[in-house]
Structure 1
Amino acid sequence: MDLMWLVTGVVLLLLLSNERFRYHCKFIIFIVSCLIVATLPIPLMLHRPKDARNALLPALGCKVISQLLGMSIIVRGKENIVKDQGCVVLINHQSALDLRVLAELWPIMERCTQVAKKSLFYLWPFGLACWLWGTIFIDRVNAEEAQQKLNSTEQAIKHRKARLLMFPEGTRGDGNELLPFKKGGFHVAVNTQCPIQPVVVSKYLFINSDRKHFGRGLSIITILPAIPTEGLTKSDIPALMEKTRNAMVEAFKKTSDEARQFSENSSYLLHSKSE
């Protein structure tokens, strides 16, 4: 028996010393743990379905998990959050770790709802939890149906002052630059005449998918000043998209460079946790 435990310990030690193994292990731990903390409060969510407040406990759990895995987060620009009206919140998309970004934004922005691909709904019980906190599921293959679903959020934005969280790139980028934007969120913003709230997440420098590295590191979330859409029409959407993307690209490059410098200074990481 002692020999078996010794062999097991040696095997685990060898596995943990393997960077590729740690990379996959950390991702699995993050995703599975987030699924668990998202679904455990389902009984508490049932009495107020499709209420954004249902996501607050899962958000807290996701933040704790990511911190344990070595992710440090700074959120800037809270003073730019749109007040007293709904808006369309556009966030660059890099990784499954973006769940951590949503966990930061949900409590500070309030009345949030999120757009996700329809297939996510069938990942039960996580899909049920997402539905219970108001996620809007769209079929990306059926563009007309997807647009109709987005249009259905207009009343919530107008009357409940909801904040529609979207990834305008539509899919994950490689983390080096932002992909071209889709038009869906811009149509909603123009139709409702509500502002666009760009949110930029710096490059996840502590992750390298080519080298299979997942270490400790810092990411900066920047809430940029809102971009108004009052008086704009559908013909203005291309220029609005360009203006929004340019602002986000500039902030992405700047904060990614800053995060790189900060990550090289371990003392700053310790200081940033108190901010």
Structure 2
Amino acid sequence: MAPTCFEVILIGFILVLPFLYETNRTFRYYFKFLIYYGFVMLNATLLLPVIFLRRFNVKNFLLASSLCHHVSPLLGLRWELRGREHLERDRACIIVANHQSSLDILGMFELWPVMDKCTVVAKKEIFYAWPVGLAAWLCGLIFIDRMNSQSARSVINDATQEIKTNKIKLWIFPEGTRHNTGEIHPFKKGAFHVAIRSQLPILPVVFSSYYFLSAEEKRFDSGRILVTTLPPISTEGLSTKDVEELMQKTRSAMSEVLQATNSEIQLSLAR
């Protein structure tokens, strides 16, 4: 039986796909993000029935991580964790990390088995990106309205007691907005207010720069990312008047590590 027009087009696309991937940087950029988002959406859909049975349990993220972390090798990404001993301790803390791209989520999928119990503060708009937003909500992710600071504080304050009681780590991106510029931008104060009010330590996590990624150039190459967990910064005895100092101390320590790991990566690439 002769192939249909659709079958001919499909076969032609499959044949030309490797050529486009290897020779066209823009095609590779969009194709990799298609794989990334498609893979995560498929797994979110498959996991929904299981997650629903134990809804709002943050350990659901471990299940999601066990599947979704497989996409990193497909994209040519290699994550290397340093300071594991700080991240794996069974305690409540406020994790603050630099925010560069939606790829940060893939880094977090690599870390969840180490963190064990961790949830994330995210903007409420992500909830409407179903099925991922729905799955994240059922995993216990904390959605906030960034345009309403009073509402955001209330939501996080309500979650703080459970976080302390059940020794859950709370992950916050204090820069607020993604910046893939090779530096750490000024922090918002929310994470540090939460840490001081709850008297929980700050645990800084630094992702080395995504030198392999550029939205402007439409470039998404293979890459190596160093993920460094710094020693915890205590908030015991601190009050709201110490927020600014705590924030600057944390940002300074993270910036120093970012520059060091970026230099290390560049040296390894030059060899």
TM-score, normalised relative to structure 1: 0.90
Paired residue secondary structure (1:210):
coil
| 3-state DSSP of counterpart to 2:238 | coil
* Structure 1 residue 105: Cα displacement: 2.1
Compared with structure 1, are the counterparts of its residues 173 and 8 closer, same or farther at alpha carbon in structure 2 (3 Å cutoff)? Answer: closer
Cα 1:225–1:11, aligned 2, differ >3 Å: closer, same or farther? same
1:41 to 47, 50, 56: 47
Which amino acid in 2 is paired with 1:57? L
Counterpart of 1:12?
Answer: 17
2:169 corresponds, among 152, 163, 166, to: 163
Distance of aligned partners of 1:13 and 1:111 in 2 relative to their CA distance in 1, 3 Å threshold: closer
CA contact (8 A) 1:205 1:260 kept: no
Say which SS state the counterpart of residue 228 (structure 2) adopts: strand
Q: Does 1:144 align with 2:156?
A: no
Matches of 1:220 and 1:175 in 2, distance apart? 16
Q: How many residues align?
A: 265
Deviations 1:127-185 (A, max 9, x none): 22101111000000111101111111220222111100110100101332111111111
Percent identity of the aligned residues?
43
User: Separation in 1 of the partners of 2:17 and 2:116?
Assistant: 43
Q: CA RMSD in A?
A: 1.9
Instruction: Look up the equivalent residue of 2:99 and give its one-letter code.
Output: H
* Contact kept? 2:98, 2:174, Cα under 8 Å: yes
Match of 1:98? 104
**How much does 1:88 deviate?**
0.2
Matched, 1:60 2:74: no
The 1-side partners of 2:47 and 2:202 are apart by 31
Q: Counterparts of 1:137 and 1:7 in 2: how far apart (Å)?
A: 44
Question: Which letter maps to 1:164?
Answer: L
- Structure 2: segments with no counterpart, 5+ residues: none
- Selected match of 1:260 from 226, 247, 266: 266
- The answer to whether the 8 A contact 2:99-2:175 is kept is yes
Secondary structure of 1:252's counterpart equals: helix
* Corresponding residue for residue 89 of structure 1: 95
Matched-pair contact (CA < 8 Å) for 1:217–1:263: no
The answer on 1:129 being equivalent to 2:131 is: no
Unmatched 5+ residue regions in structure 1? 266-275
Judged with a 3 Å threshold, the aligned counterparts in structure 2 of structure 1 residues 232 and 31 are, in CA distance, closer, same or farther, namely: same
Corresponding position of 1:71? 77
Q: TM-score normalized by structure 2?
A: 0.91
